[in-house]
């Protein structure tokens, strides 16, 4: 999840687009989708699917990716999380 100052929203999306293109080329990448809060929200959610935590961590720790993190706007605050599917009987399946 990201939050950013309203004037930096376009720059955040541009950085995310560049990083998403890099991630698409990494082993274990499945898909990604950027979501933005409705209305005047400047909260964004990056929903990415990876084959494994190991694949994600290898891509995230790649030196080329790490150097580009400094390009994000100074107002951008990132709160990364890793999730797994949760089974809820009668509603959704787990892993």
Distances from the Cα of 54 to the Cα of 15, 24, 42, 86, angstroms: 24, 15, 30, 20
What are the pLDDT digits (tens) for 8-66? Answer: 999 999 999 999 999 999 999 999 999 999 999 999 999 999 999 999 999 999 999 99
> Taking 70 as the threshold, does the pLDDT of residue 95 lie above it?
no
Kindly list the structural domains of the chain, giving each domain's residue range(s) and its CATH number in brackets, ordered by start: 2-78 (3.30.70.100)
pLDDT band at residue 85, thresholds of 50, 70 and 90?
A: confident
pLDDT value of residue 93? 85
CB contact at 8 A, 84 and 50: no
What are the pLDDT digits (tens) for 58-72? Answer: 999 999 999 999 999
> Taking 80 as the threshold, does the pLDDT of residue 79 lie above it?
yes
């Amino acid at each position: 999840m990201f939050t950013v100052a309203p004037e930096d929203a376009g720059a955040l999306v541009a950085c995310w687009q560049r990083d998403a293109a890099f991630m698409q080329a990494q082993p274990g990448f499945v898909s990604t989708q950027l979501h933005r809060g409705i209305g005047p929200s400047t909260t964004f959610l990056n929903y990415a699917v990876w084959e494994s935590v190991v694949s994600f961590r290898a891509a995230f720790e790649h030196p080329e990716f790490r150097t580009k993190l400094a390009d994000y706007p100074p107002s951008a605050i990132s709160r990364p999380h890793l999730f797994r599917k949760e089974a809820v009987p009668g509603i959704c399946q787990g892993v």
